[in-house]
């Protein structure tokens, strides 16, 4: 669980309501995809061995195949690591005061944006496609009055629950603001 | 032209050095931003374990290769189909 210590510029008295990642099925899809890619050198070497057995006996073919396979596996394993790292480091934090969107984009790019609940005008959720419908994940779109008009929660689990939570928090925030004003 | 097979190994080492640098970048991000989450911590462990497995298996196979073997390229290629004997080449034009 992300604590307020880790929040960027945590406000005094701010409490974290929930920390949201993409749905687990996204990570599973990536694991399956990269598992297939990792199996590719084994398939290629087996096919070369079966279809062109005399080619392996050429002095430079087998060493080159080994080097290429090793480099390929290291490269794919690194891509797999960064793909899942991106999954874990893309985070949406909902507190009682704001929404924080933390995105990891590639190797050297990290973006953090935040939106105060008092500026939220509308929250909507959407689920499109076969897998999102079956596994109940989708997007949440938060419309605001600020310079950044929209904030997206992408491929999150049960987007309708997140929408309901946000609407409730926004209503409570407005109520609190009204009471402080009177 | 001939050159030893070990040149390909050097190119592989250059690639491995670049790969290692990018791995360190990824591990830095993991430690900086994800160490408090079990999932990302577990990902780091799995990644390092995978690296060790790939390196160990690669070393096992690459260690068996004779890297001092020479590779010949662009030899024994005779584009004009001419033999070394002048008389034979003359006869081919009759």
Residue that has been written with the tokens 């196979």 in this structure:
B61
The alpha-carbon gap from A61 to the nearest alpha carbon of chain B, in Å, equals 10
Q: Most A CBs within 10 Å: which of B10, B33, B35, B49, as the mutation test of the A interface?
A: B33
Write out the H or E segment, with its range, that includes residue A36.
helix A24-51
Q: Is B62 on the interface with A (CB under 8 A)?
A: yes
pLDDT computed for residue A7 by the predictor: 65
pLDDT at A26 over 50: yes
Say what percent of chain A tops pLDDT 90.
54
Q: How far apart are the first and last CA of chain B?
A: 34
**Over residues B29-51, mean pLDDT:** 85
- Mean per-residue pLDDT over chain B, rounded: 80
pLDDT at A175 over 70: yes
Higher pLDDT, B75 or A157: A157
Q: How far apart are CA A56 and CA A71, in angstroms?
A: 19
CB contact under 8 A, A78 and B22: yes
What is the maximum alpha-carbon separation in chain A?
A: 89
- Number of Cβ within 10 Å of residue A159's Cβ equals 25
pLDDT computed for residue A133 by the predictor: 94
What are B56-79's pLDDT values in tens digits? 999 999 999 888 888 877 665 555
Which residue ranges make up each domain of chain A? Answer: 28-85, 91-181
Domain A91-181 -> CATH class = mainly beta
Q: Is B29 on the interface with A (CB under 8 A)?
A: yes
pLDDT at A102 over 60: yes
């Amino acid at each position: 669980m992300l604590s307020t210590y880790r929040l960027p510029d945590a406000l005094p008295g701010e409490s974290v309501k929930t920390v949201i990642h993409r749905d687990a099925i996204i990570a599973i899809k990536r694991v399956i995809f990269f598992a297939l890619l990792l199996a590719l050198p084994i398939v290629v070497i087996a096919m070369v061995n079966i279809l062109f057995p005399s080619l392996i006996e050429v002095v430079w073919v087998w060493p080159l195949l080994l080097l290429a396979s090793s480099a390929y596996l290291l490269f794919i394993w690194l891509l797999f690591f960064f793909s899942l790292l991106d999954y874990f480091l893309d985070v949406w934090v909902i507190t009682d005061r704001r929404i924080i969107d933390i995105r990891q984009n590639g190797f050297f790019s990290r973006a953090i944006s935040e939106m105060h609940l008092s500026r939220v005008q509308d929250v909507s959720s959407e689920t499109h496609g076969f897998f999102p419908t079956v596994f109940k994940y989708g997007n949440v779109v938060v419309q605001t009055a600020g310079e950044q008009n929209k904030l997206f929660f992408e491929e999150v689990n049960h987007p309708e629950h997140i929408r309901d939570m946000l609407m409730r928090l926004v209503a409570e925030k407005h109520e609190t603001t009204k009471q402080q004003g009177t | 032209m001939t050159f030893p097979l070990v040149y390909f190994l050097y190119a592989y080492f250059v690639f491995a050095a670049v790969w290692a640098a990018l791995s360190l970048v990824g591990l830095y991000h993991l430690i900086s931003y994800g160490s408090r989450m079990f999932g990302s911590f577990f990902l780091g462990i799995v990644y390092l374990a995978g690296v060790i497995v790939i390196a160990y298996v690669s070393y096992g196979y690459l260690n068996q290769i004779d890297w001092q073997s020479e590779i010949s390229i662009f030899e024994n290629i005779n584009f004009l189909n001419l033999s070394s004997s002048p008389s034979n080449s003359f006869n081919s034009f009759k």
